[in-house]
Structure 1
Amino acid sequence: MNDLVALRRALHQQPEVGLHLPATQATVLEALHGLDLEISTGQGLSSVTAVLRGGRPGPVVLLRSDMDALPVTEATGLDFASTNGAMHACGHDLHMAGLVGAARLLAGRREDLTGTVVFMFQPGEEGFAGGRLMLQEGVLEAAGERPVAAYAVHVDCVTPAGQAVTRPGPMMASASALRLRVAGTGGHAAFPHHAVDPVPVAAEIILAVQSFAARRLPVSDPAVLSVTRLRSDSAASNVLAGSVELEINIRALSRETLTSVRTQLPVLLTAVGEAHGCSVQTEFIDSYPVTVNDPGETGFVLGTLDELYGDRVVRLPFPGMASEDFAYVLEEVPGTLVFLGVSPADGSSGPMHSERAVFDDSRLDEHAALLVELARRRLAR
């Protein structure tokens, strides 16, 4: 246990962002050293894949951890806080330590395992689609046959410590974006009637985005549309912009709703712009798919959680609108994502992804043990 806390805090102090995490990868490899695992590293990213062969033949189960941090300057005041302008504000340092702990425990029980466990350490979860890249590099074939199930545990610093949270079916939303360039003619701020000013047109487009979400999409299968970027090309206060750029973040819980947004929203926004004499260029950026927990595997997981956690198990009534690139794995392999509450007892944590996010790492033994039980019991089925 103390070793896992020390590992987590060492990882916390050296956060790296994106797909290339050389220091993080080296720390994970050192932590796995001596466990008699079949280890490979990524070609296009700093991933680590480790295969543990059990004492008896059987199926393959995959356990996954992400590795990357966020470009956030930490403000927790912890004595092991990061000082390099990046931060493990989503708990990926705990994910790595928990999966290393599971690897150590399972390696110690190798002869009792009926099958094989693949440990997937994945960079680039925070918007870089590292999971998709690992699939392309063959992580699902690392053991010689594809896994029959895949599991991941994600910590949450605002969920009460010790709660285990999941649900069958859609668990987290897809994440996509629509970029627009609204072009007018620009001109002098004193004479707007001699120009086509795209700024008020952009304001109408923003309102149209909100109306679209409220009036074009069913309440039973919603989407969240947020304008996250807005920029004009004007360089002076007395110059009307010639163009305005916007980006709309799109969260959806089904392919049907995402298809509706993707096909209908650009048509609507282009028409709004053209009605005011502006041209509108649109670009759709497809990103993470919906994270869907397999109903059968999640039934097994919930049964295990009920036995281990009792009344600390929370069955989510609705999916959340954040996204996860474990979704790529779950598109290929039936499995389940579980959230584990690690909120500090003193309530000192800010929200996830904030510079004040604090995680209770005393739960790392529980984290590792849960991964072990999911793998062990699934292989024994």
Structure 2
Amino acid sequence: MTTSPTHPEAAETRSDGELAAEAREMLPELVALRRRLHADPELGLDTPRTQRRVLEALDGLGLEITTGAAATSVVAVLRGALPGPTVLLRGDMDGLPLDEDTGLDFAAENGAMHACGHDLHTAGLVGAARLLAARRDELAGDVLFMFQPGEEGAGGAQVMIDEGLLDTTGSRPEAAYALHVAPGPRGVVATRPGAAMAGSSSLTITVRGRGGHGSQPHRAQDPVPTAAEIVQALQTMVARRFDAFEPVVLSVTQLSTDAGVVNIIPDTATLQATVRTTSEAAVEQLREELPRLAEGIASAHGMSAEVDFEVLYPPTINDAARTAECLDVLRETLGAERVVSMDRAAMGSEDFAFVLQQVPGTFFMLLAGPEDPQASGEVNHSPRVIFDDSVLAEAAAALATLAHARLAAGASDSAVSGDVSATTG
């Protein structure tokens, strides 16, 4: 059988079983990398030691590598043997400002922690790069590896997009995939079409009254009980103004005043909240109704309120067609019994959402709970959370197989289009 750029049958020679088997063979190397990363976490957009370890792990694979200017990102391109589309694979690299309390031999001791599993994401993406680089001759198209700092609140994905990430290969990706580890039965994968993760917004409301002596509230305009009334009204608003099947979660997490001592009624009281939404419609409704609610309550008490509502991350929306393909590929690769559909979106947030706003793709969860039942009750962002890094074989195989399968499908689509054009031309 001969191959050509028009009929790249070579892209169809993938064996899911072979990729998974090779991923298991490289597991010790991936575990070692993950544990080096775990012992030395870095925060935000500035992760130079992590970047260096990624570059060392990719050395010798024949990738086109660039590093970021606004962040310590790594972008690596694997060029296939034949022309074709681009597929993007993402792994985030930053940790959290937590003192680790796991007791692991490789626990971090620098005041930061990989409490959300980004060390596994990075090592898994390195594994996928190695698997695919070994199959360069089978690829009809390019794979774009996105090693991203600054996922935990710094919007690193958008920073990389602004630096030209999506134009790196010369053609914008036609698919994008990312995974995230979470507690649960080891090796199980879960995702869904549509909203997979909530969007995240911040809310700040400042109530302005008139301060005075704590013993004479009638001579002041006390903003504290007014702020407390607004807190209660916010909970009622969420419960009564939004459909329970398109949830909004609003948690007031901070209350403060400008009073210096306990016997002063302050001039101002400020509350801050995190808000999670699963649709753009909910965000727009909040933009409209939050100021009206806060200002109305403050006005009723002779005061004023200032409302600042800022969208941080949009909802993570999985493309329906790409997600259907993703589920099929993962069932074939990992076994149908280990791939499940999520009933609803998770209310955490993820900045891979910025990529999925521009590229159809899928974000999926890889469960990585520890075998020790006493350690299984902790969740992401806990200083005691432990992930079983034996799932790195599944992580690498899943990402590599998704890219391989999509490039093969894209090549087949191009071949059919070419045949139709030749027939009708």
Per the TM superposition, whether the score is higher than 0.5 is yes
Q: Give the drift of 1:221.
A: 2.0
Is 1:61 aligned to residue 120 of structure 2? no
Summarize deviations over 1:61-97 as a string: whole Å, max 9, x none.
0000111111111100101001111110000000000
From 315, 323, 326, the counterpart of 2:349 = 323
* Separation (CA, whole Å) in 2 of partners of 1:108 and 1:194: 78
* Separation (CA, whole Å) in 1 of partners of 2:208 and 2:156: 35
* Separation (CA, whole Å) in 2 of partners of 1:153 and 1:176: 22
Q: Which has the larger radius of gyration?
A: 2
Residue type of the partner of 1:304? Answer: V
1:208 alignment counterpart? 233
Is 1:196 aligned to residue 221 of structure 2? yes
Summarize deviations over 1:282-314 as a string: whole Å, max 9, x none.
112111011010000001001112222211111
Specify every segment of 5 or more residues in structure 1 that has no aligned partner in the other structure, as ranges: none
* Separation (CA, whole Å) in 2 of partners of 1:111 and 1:254: 42
Matched residue of 1:287: which SS?
strand
Q: Give the drift of 1:279.
A: 1.4
Query: Is 242-251 or 88-97 further displaced after alignment?
Result: 242-251
2:242 alignment counterpart? 217
Residue type of the partner of 2:69? Answer: Q
Is 1:298 aligned to residue 355 of structure 2? no
2:259 alignment counterpart? 234
1:379 alignment counterpart? 407
* Separation (CA, whole Å) in 1 of partners of 2:92 and 2:295: 39
For the Cα contact (< 8 Å) 2:290–2:307, is it kept in 1? no
Matched residue of 1:251: which SS?
strand
Matched residue of 1:332: which SS?
coil
* Separation (CA, whole Å) in 1 of partners of 2:348 and 2:372: 26
2:10 alignment counterpart? none
Q: Give the drift of 1:137.
A: 0.5
From 180, 196, 205, the counterpart of 2:205 = 180
Is 1:332 aligned to residue 358 of structure 2? yes
Summarize deviations over 1:332-379 as a string: whole Å, max 9, x none.
000001111110111314111100110100111111011111011110
Q: TM-score, normalised by structure 1?
A: 0.98
2:386 alignment counterpart? 358
Specify every segment of 5 or more residues in structure 2 that has no aligned partner in the other structure, as ranges: 1-26, 410-425
* Separation (CA, whole Å) in 2 of partners of 1:69 and 1:33: 24
Query: Is 213-222 or 293-302 further displaced after alignment?
Result: 213-222
From 192, 196, 203, the counterpart of 1:167 = 192
1:280 alignment counterpart? 305
Summarize deviations over 1:147-167 as a string: whole Å, max 9, x none.
1100011111x2210100000
Is 1:41 aligned to residue 64 of structure 2? no
1:106 alignment counterpart? 132
Is 1:119 aligned to residue 119 of structure 2? no
Matched residue of 2:331: which SS?
helix
Q: Give the drift of 1:102.
A: 0.6
Query: Is 201-210 or 302-311 further displaced after alignment?
Result: 302-311
* Separation (CA, whole Å) in 2 of partners of 1:162 and 1:34: 30
Residue type of the partner of 2:194? Answer: G
* Separation (CA, whole Å) in 1 of partners of 2:223 and 2:338: 53
Residue type of the partner of 1:180? Answer: I
Q: Give the drift of 1:220.
A: 2.9
Residue type of the partner of 2:159? Answer: L
* Separation (CA, whole Å) in 1 of partners of 2:201 and 2:219: 37
Summarize deviations over 1:28-81 as a string: whole Å, max 9, x none.
111111111000011101100000001122111000011111111110010100
* Separation (CA, whole Å) in 2 of partners of 1:39 and 1:268: 51
* Separation (CA, whole Å) in 1 of partners of 2:149 and 2:35: 18
From 144, 148, 168, the counterpart of 2:174 = 148
Summarize deviations over 1:250-276 as a string: whole Å, max 9, x none.
111111111111111111111101111
* Separation (CA, whole Å) in 1 of partners of 2:28 and 2:325: 31
* Separation (CA, whole Å) in 2 of partners of 1:176 and 1:29: 34
2:332 alignment counterpart? 307
* Separation (CA, whole Å) in 2 of partners of 1:47 and 1:376: 24
Is 1:97 aligned to residue 112 of structure 2? no
* Separation (CA, whole Å) in 2 of partners of 1:270 and 1:228: 20
For the Cα contact (< 8 Å) 2:187–2:367, is it kept in 1? yes
* Separation (CA, whole Å) in 2 of partners of 1:297 and 1:366: 19
Tell me the number of residue pairs that the alignment of Structure 1 and Structure 2 aligns.
380
Spell out structure 1 runs of 4+ moving beyond 3 A: none
Structure 1 residues 78-97: aligned runs within 5 Å:
78-97=104-123
From 242, 246, 258, the counterpart of 2:283 = 258
Q: Give the drift of 1:222.
A: 2.3
From 35, 38, 45, the counterpart of 1:19 = 45
Q: State the superposition RMSD in angstroms.
A: 0.9
Matched residue of 1:103: which SS?
helix
Overall identity of the aligned pairs, in %: 53
Summarize deviations over 1:179-202 as a string: whole Å, max 9, x none.
111111111111111111111111
For the Cα contact (< 8 Å) 2:313–2:349, is it kept in 1? yes
* Separation (CA, whole Å) in 2 of partners of 1:17 and 1:270: 37
Q: TM-score, normalised by structure 2?
A: 0.88
